[in-house]
Amino acid sequence: MTPLVAMVSSPRARLFACFLRLGAQQASPFQLHTGVSLAAKNYYEVLVLGGGSGGITMAARMKRRVRAENVAIIEPSERHFYQPLWTLVGAGAKQLSSSGRPTGSVIPSGAEWIKARVVELNPDKNCVRTDNGKEVSYKYLIIALGIQLDYEKIKGLPEGFAHPKIGSNYSVSTVEKTWKALQDFKEGNAIFTFPNTPIKCAGAPQKIMYLSEAYFRKTGKRSNANIIFSTSLGSIFGVKKYAVALQEIIQERNLIVNYKQNLIEVRADKQEAVFENLDKPGETQVISYEMLHVTPPMSSPDVLKTSPVADAAGWVDVDKETLQHKKYPNVFGIGDCTNLPTSKTAAAVAAQSGILDRTISLIMKNETPTKKYDGYTSCPLVTGYNRVILAEFDYNAQPLETFPFDQSKERLSMYIMKADLMPFLYWNIMLRGYWGGPAFLRKLFHLGVS
C-alpha cells in the first residue's frame, strides 16, 4: 500500500527542505563517530547513562568541557530514533526508515560507547554496574535513561498487537501497525487512548486522532467512522489557550471525547477495548473497535525505581531549576526519567540541555549554578496533514511562544517546521550539542521580551 507521503509533499515543502539541506555542510554526519571502541576504560570524568536525545546531546556538550576521551555513554541499542516523527509515520506521512540511524553514527566522535545496559546505580561509591558485570566509575554522572513503556499493564497486550486493527505510535515495532489499521478501516469505531500515568509527548495520543480523521475524509470513509478519544485525563490539554483551540476542532469535526476513561484490557481477537471509569472505580465499559490506537502506560525505567537517585515515585530526583540531583551533587538528570514537573518532550530536553551544560560547567569550577530552567516545553499539535498548532509553555502551564503570532491557530508553516525543520535540527544541530531551545529566537522575535 502506498504511504501518504506523496499526498502531503507539496512543492513548497520540498523547496523548504532543500533550503535546509544547504546549511548541513558544517554539521555533516560524516564528522560523527561511526565506530565502537573495543577497550572501554573503567573510569570516566563524565559518564552518561542512556543514548537517547538527552544522553547524546549532553555527551556532545560534555566533550567540549572535558575532552572526548573522558566521556562515555552506556547504551545497549544499535539504533537511535527521532521518535517525534512516529506520529507522522503512523499516519503514513513519513517512512519509519527516515526516523532512525545507527547509534554509532550519533555518538560524539572520540567519546566511548559502552554497549551494555545499566542494572545498578551506586552513587555513594560513584559507580554503576552493567548487565555484563562491568563496573564503571565516574566523577560526574548524567542520567538520561528515558521512560519505560509498560504495555503489559494492559491485559491482552503486547500479544494483542499480533492481531490486525490495532497499533501504537509509541514503539518502533507497532507504529507501522497504526498505518496498516488506518488503511484497513472500513466502518465502525476508531478509538484512541490516553493512559492513567505520566507519558512522553502527551499531545501524541490525540495527534493521531486528528490525522486519522483527516485520512478518513481524504479517502471518503469519514461518514462511516465514529471517532472516539478515551482519555484518563479530565481535560483535552493542560494549557487553557491551546485547550480552547482544540475543543473548537473537536466540535467542528464531530469527534467524541470520553474523559476519565482508562484502557485496562484489549480483547484483540474480538476487537474489543475495556475501559475503567476513574470517577467510579470498578465500573467498566466494553467498546468494540474497527481501529484501536493504544498509548501505553509508562513509568520510570526499572533500574531507577529502587535506586538511591529516585524519588518516591521512581523518577530521578533533581532540582527543577538546575537539574542537579537533590542529594548527590555530582549526579544530574535530564529528560523523561526525571521528576521535572513539565511535559516530557524532545523540545524540553533541548532546553534542559543548555541549562544542564551551564550547571555542570559551574559545578566543575566549584561555583554555584546560576542559570535556571523555566520548564519550557513544546508540543507541535498536528491537527491534519498540513496543519499544526504549536503549543509552547512553561512550568506554570503558561504559554511561552516563540513566534510573534498566535500559535493557537492551525498553520501550514508550523506543519512544515514539524515535518521537515525539526528533524533536520535534531540530527544536525541538537545531537551535536548546539541547540538549547528557542529562547534566543523568542527574545529576538519579541524585541527582547523573555
Residue 367 CA to chain centroid, in angstroms?
A: 32
For 305-345, give the DSSP string.
Answer: HTSTTB-TTSSB-B-TTT-BBSS-TTEEE-GGGB--SS-B-
- 3-class DSSP assignment, residue 296: coil
How far apart CA 82 and CA 423 sit, in angstroms, is 7
403 Cβ partners below 8 Å, 6+ apart? 390, 445
Residue 270 β-bridge partners: none
Cα dist. 217→5, 190, 288, 410 in Å?
Answer: 16, 14, 22, 18
251 Cβ partners below 8 Å, 6+ apart? none
**Any idea which residue has 541499542 for its cell?**
77
Residue 174 CA to chain centroid, in angstroms?
A: 16
Instruction: Tell me if residue 18 is catalytic.
Output: no
Instruction: Tell me if residue 379 is catalytic.
Output: yes
How far apart CA 146 and CA 164 sit, in angstroms, is 29
How far apart CA 165 and CA 181 sit, in angstroms, is 5
How far apart CA 194 and CA 206 sit, in angstroms, is 8
CA-nearest of 411, 343, 409, 413 to 375 is 343
Q: Is 218 exposed, middle or buried (0-12, 13-18, 19+ CB in 10 A)?
A: middle
* C-alpha cell read off for 279: 470517577
| Distance between start and end Cα atoms, the chain | 48
Q: Is 277 exposed, middle or buried (0-12, 13-18, 19+ CB in 10 A)?
A: middle
The answer to whether the Cα torsion of 41, 44, 47, 53 is positive or negative is negative
Residue 85 CA to chain centroid, in angstroms?
A: 9
Cα dist. 421→24, 100, 323, 349, 380 in Å?
Answer: 12, 16, 28, 17, 12
The answer to whether the Cα torsion of 14, 435, 395, 195 is positive or negative is positive
- 3-class DSSP assignment, residue 113: strand
Kindly list the catalytic residues: 201, 379
